[in-house]
């Protein structure tokens, strides 16, 4: 069964510090992996989309990595800001497409403290 | 600036009532997605359309849910009759897919969601 596991479930760090969020998946055959940021009460916003051949992608202070061999991805946030407080959701697409080809993680709830 | 809009933002209704949620995708986008989010299940894909044609609605309970795109500027998600377990936030997203699967590496832009509470 396709699964996406995110860790930690929640994380509290001080403003200015770095952090790394993890996403492990068992989706097959793999198509792409997305990281979304979701602020409270808002829709998700795409941070990165990575395909099989990409192993690093950056978007400002966000850097995602993908290891397709070990089926792991990470999202690294550098020099965190208060506005980074949000849920971060990992979503993996299988190549067959369709609604059942999309597997969602439950998210990591990140709180940045001043 | 271009963004996906959804109405209503909040809806409280009683069990058994019909609920209709509306979405206006970003102008020029040809693919529309409906998602549901709950605390327990997280995000789930319900259905998606490409060029107004339904491509997949396998994530949707067929007996009570229906999704349509009457025109390129409007997508609707209807629940009839509604049940308390339908309480969730329903998101619409749109994207421009020019080739390949809508689940490929194409950007999706989410609306603000409709928070539905069924009593």
User: Are A32 and A50 within 8 A, CB to CB?
Assistant: yes
Query: Which tokens in the block code for residue B94?
Result: 């749109």
Span A9-54, pLDDT tens digits: 999 999 999 999 999 999 888 889 999 999 999 999 999 999 888 9
Span B7-65, pLDDT tens digits: 999 999 999 999 999 999 999 999 999 999 999 889 999 999 999 988 888 889 889 99
Q: How many CB pairs under 8 A join A and B?
A: 62
Give the gap in angstroms from C-alpha B112 to the nearest C-alpha of chain A. 5
First to last CA, chain B: 36
Cβ contact (<8 Å) for B103 and A105?
Answer: no
Q: What is the pLDDT of residue A100?
A: 58
> Which residues have C-beta within 8 Å of that of residue B103, sequence separation ≥ 6?
A31, A32, A93, A94, A97, A98, A101, A102
Residue in A43, A93, A101 closest to B110 by CB? A43
Give the gap in angstroms from C-alpha A63 to the nearest C-alpha of chain B. 17
Q: What is the pLDDT of residue A101?
A: 75
């Amino acid at each position: 069964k396709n699964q996406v596991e995110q860790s930690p479930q929640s994380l509290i760090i001080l403003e200015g510090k770095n952090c790394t969020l993890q996403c492990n998946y068992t989706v097959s055959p793999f198509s792409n992996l997305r990281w979304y940021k979701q602020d409270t009460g808002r829709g998700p916003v795409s941070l990165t989309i990575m395909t099989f051949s990409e192993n690093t992608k950056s978007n400002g202070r966000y850097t995602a990595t993908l290891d397709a061999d070990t089926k792991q991805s990470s999202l690294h946030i550098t020099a965190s800001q208060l506005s980074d407080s949000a849920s971060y959701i990992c979503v993996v697409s299988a190549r067959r497409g369709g609604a059942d080809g999309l597997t969602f993680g439950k998210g990591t709830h990140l709180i940045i403290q001043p | 600036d271009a963004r996906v809009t959804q109405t209503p933002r909040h809806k409280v209704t009683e069990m058994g009532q019909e609920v209709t949620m509306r979405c206006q995708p970003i102008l020029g986008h040809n693919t529309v997605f409906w998602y549901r989010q709950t605390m327990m299940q997280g995000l789930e894909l319900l259905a998606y359309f490409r060029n107004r044609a339904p491509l997949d609605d396998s994530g949707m309970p067929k007996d009570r849910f229906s999704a349509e795109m009457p025109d390129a500027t409007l997508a609707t998600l209807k629940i009839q009759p509604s049940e308390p377990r339908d309480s969730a936030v329903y998101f619409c997203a749109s994207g421009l897919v020019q080739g390949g699967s809508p689940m490929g590496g194409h950007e999706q832009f989410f609306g603000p969601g409709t928070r539905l509470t069924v009593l």
